[in-house]
Structure 1
Amino acid sequence: MRKHSRRYRQVLEQVKKQNYYPIMAIELLKKISTANFVETAEIHISLGIDPKYADQQLRATVILPKGTGKRNIVAVITRGQKLSEALSVGADIVGSDDLIDKISQGSINFDKLIATPDMMPLIAKLGRQLGPKGLMPSPKAGTVTNDLKKSITDFKAGKLEYRVDRTGIIHIPFGKTDFSVNDLMLNLITLKESIEKNRPSGAKGKYLQSVYISSTMSPSVAIDVNAFRAIS
């Protein structure tokens, strides 16, 4: 049986076995996030989809109005004049074949990788390194593009890519526990709207199955699904 610290057990006693209204859940999460660092607030949503079917997969992006509270390190793989363009609009790491070689050797010191379409044939061989970390560039995620300025600016501003895991659950950070309740609510509303907007065509029946929020070191807090669906 997994053993929890005394702090965790004390915090757990404050979480009732009930489904909370979203704003009450956020208030409780802020109260029980007592680690000695600023924790990340996360949402975990179980969806009524089976991602093994192509028409029931979910992968999308969203820009949270209040950001994530995290500074994203953005790397760009391109060539020619776009190398200097990427640097001029804020990319942290820029390269061509040299950067591809570094990544193939295990040097992955970035949070997001953007590539221009002409580089994708060369990047394909990096699937083993990038795939498990969710860093492989994708047109759908906005990370394969010739519009480097927009893509870099968006991800620097906190644009998030999310996808359903193999069990039909999505796990998304939506801020930090030192954000105000209102700011976390605004981010939560934006996420809810994005998830509903990008509902897979093959999803049938009840789409939102269960909703929980948690922080880095806290137990999870259950949110009433109907109340979550109604927030706006």
Structure 2
Amino acid sequence: MAYPRSLISPLSRLTTSSIAASTSEVPRLAPLPYQTLRCATTKAQPKKKKKVRNTFIQYDLKKAEKFSLVDAMQYIRAFEVGRNPSSSKYEVHVRLRTLKNGPVVRNRLRLPHPVKTDLRICVIAAPDSKAAAEARAAGAVLVGEDDVFAQIKEGIVEFDRCLCHVDSLQKMNKAGLGRILGPKGLMPSTKMGTVVTQVGSSARALVGGSEYRERLGVVRVAVGQLGFTPEEMARNVKAFMDALKEDIARLSDRIIKEVHEVVLSSTNAPGFTLSGDFRGANSISPKELSGPL
């Protein structure tokens, strides 16, 4: 049996120096200084403002395929096969090089071959006046003052064009029809030439007339029915382009508007960029485009 002293004696050999030496061999993690824990920050760079474009984007037409009038009509008629020739219309879209915030082109013309001849015309004039009699003789479907005002205020607008005689202009303005007819583009105005003195001739000129207005740098107008011959289409397109160029020429010298592209399409067909030629070298005979679809 061992005595307690014999057990204690080996423990007495462990001095404090030896314990310190053994503990010094254990690696310790030194605390990191506070500055090394901070994240580096950089000043936010101000965002560069994008330059606002003041003109409409125009595509380069050098690589675009262009078609003569006869070729464009041939392809369009292929898309319209089986439809009534009077239900679909040929449309011309003229893309302009112009400023976004500049004045727009807006006018009305009578084409050599009218596209739509079944327009319903309303004439605002005194019911018993000479102007009202001329309007009825010209084929106006609605003529009068108070009765017409009441019908329009009820939301019944069963006409496609509206004229106003000069003597009835003040009464029409007091009726407050602008909120109803304005958004529809039917409000008579002196600027648009729909406030007239000669009601009869103006109403007859409206039948077959076409209105056009520039929107987002593009002017659109219907120039024919699918049953029109290429010769009739050529005369209508030329008349429209001549009128459009005259409208552009009447603008101020400081305002630049130029024709960039002329596209022919229809109600259900895509658009074809016109080259300005009536017929190409490999085009079919125009007579083949004159019959039924």
**1:30-69 correspondence runs (5 A):** 30-38=77-85, 39-50=88-99, 52-53=101-102, 56-69=103-116
Give, in angstroms, the shift of residue 212 of structure 1. Answer: 1.4
Q: Give me the whole-angstrom Cα distance separating, in 2, the residues matched to 1:139 and 1:51.
A: 26
- CA distances 1:14-72 after superposition (whole Å, capped 9, x unpaired): xxx6222334323332333225222111111122234743xx22111211001114411
Structure 1 residues 180 and 129: alpha-carbon distance in aligned structure 2, compared to 1, 3 A threshold: same
Aligned length: 206
The residue identity in structure 2 corresponding to 1:27 is: Q
The residue identity in structure 2 corresponding to 1:111 is: D
Contact kept, 8 Å, 1:43 with 1:172, in 2: the verdict is: yes
Contact kept, 8 Å, 2:212 with 2:221, in 1: the verdict is: yes
Q: Give me the whole-angstrom Cα distance separating, in 1, the residues matched to 2:257 and 2:107.
A: 20
Give, in angstroms, the shift of residue 197 of structure 1. Answer: 0.9
Structure 1 residues 142 and 23: alpha-carbon distance in aligned structure 2, compared to 1, 3 A threshold: farther
The residue identity in structure 2 corresponding to 1:151 is: S
Structure 1 residues 58 and 91: alpha-carbon distance in aligned structure 2, compared to 1, 3 A threshold: same
Structure 1 residues 123 and 28: alpha-carbon distance in aligned structure 2, compared to 1, 3 A threshold: farther
Give, in angstroms, the shift of residue 205 of structure 1. Answer: 4.6
Question: Secondary structure at the residue paired with 2:183?
Answer: helix
The residue identity in structure 1 corresponding to 2:81 is: T
**1:100-179 correspondence runs (5 A):** 100-124=149-173, 125-156=176-207, 158-165=208-215, 167-179=216-228
**Larger helix proportion of the pair:** 1
The higher-RCO structure (CA 8 Å, 6+ apart) is 1
The residue identity in structure 2 corresponding to 1:160 is: S
Structure 1 residues 113 and 35: alpha-carbon distance in aligned structure 2, compared to 1, 3 A threshold: farther
Structure 1 residues 206 and 142: alpha-carbon distance in aligned structure 2, compared to 1, 3 A threshold: closer
The residue identity in structure 2 corresponding to 1:136 is: M
Structure 1 gap ranges (5+): 1-16
Q: Give me the whole-angstrom Cα distance separating, in 1, the residues matched to 2:162 and 2:82.
A: 31
Percent identity between the two aligned chains: 26
Structure 1 residues 50 and 121: alpha-carbon distance in aligned structure 2, compared to 1, 3 A threshold: farther
In our comparison, the structure showing a higher alpha carbon Rg is 2
Q: Give me the whole-angstrom Cα distance separating, in 2, the residues matched to 1:113 and 1:205.
A: 33
Using the size of structure 2 for normalisation, the TM-score is: 0.64
- CA distances 1:184-229 after superposition (whole Å, capped 9, x unpaired): 11111100000001115147455112221211111122223xx27x
Structure 1 residues 19 and 122: alpha-carbon distance in aligned structure 2, compared to 1, 3 A threshold: farther
Q: Give me the whole-angstrom Cα distance separating, in 1, the residues matched to 2:257 and 2:104.
A: 16
Structure 1 residues 133 and 35: alpha-carbon distance in aligned structure 2, compared to 1, 3 A threshold: farther
Partner of 1:209: 260
Contact kept, 8 Å, 1:141 with 1:161, in 2: the verdict is: no
Q: Give me the whole-angstrom Cα distance separating, in 1, the residues matched to 2:167 and 2:83.
A: 46
Give, in angstroms, the shift of residue 76 of structure 1. Answer: 0.6
Q: 1:181 aligns with which of 211, 230, 235?
A: 230
Question: Secondary structure at the residue paired with 1:133?
Answer: coil
Q: Give me the whole-angstrom Cα distance separating, in 2, the residues matched to 1:138 and 1:23.
A: 39
Q: Give me the whole-angstrom Cα distance separating, in 2, the residues matched to 1:104 and 1:51.
A: 35
**1:7-86 correspondence runs (5 A):** 18-38=65-85, 39-50=88-99, 52-53=101-102, 56-79=103-126, 80-81=128-129, 82-86=131-135
Contact kept, 8 Å, 1:49 with 1:57, in 2: the verdict is: no
The residue identity in structure 2 corresponding to 1:104 is: K
Partner of 1:13: none
The residue identity in structure 2 corresponding to 1:149 is: G
Contact kept, 8 Å, 2:98 with 2:257, in 1: the verdict is: no
Partner of 1:6: none
Q: Give me the whole-angstrom Cα distance separating, in 1, the residues matched to 2:152 and 2:115.
A: 26
Structure 2 gap ranges (5+): 1-63, 278-293
